[in-house]
Structure 1
């Protein structure tokens, strides 16, 4: 489970970096930049959820002992 969350986190970070290169700062809310912004937001949400999952698994592990 731990390796799986790290792989997904790496993929989400790669998505954020890739989409950051697709941004057109002069027209952020037009064309391909909107898609890049939405994808970056989705990847950041995925990172947040994976972090919550890691923390909850750590709490679960400590509460069992």
Structure 2
């Protein structure tokens, strides 16, 4: 708790996007601003983002990277 009391928020503004994203099936199909947002989140958290949800349905999920590495036999 003491560590949290020392935390200070950092506010960053980024460009938004008005294009719909629900039809995107790959990260390349997302608006440029959305891709920049994902890139910035990855920088801030220090790890890659593997899955992006563009809506509440299963088909509105983008797998940025494979969730499980293929195992060669």
TM-score (norm 1): 0.32
Q: Which has the higher strand share?
A: 2
Q: Which has the bigger relative contact order, CA under 8 A and spacing at least 6? A: 1
The TM-score, its normalising length taken from structure 2, stands at 0.30
Greater per-residue helix proportion: 1
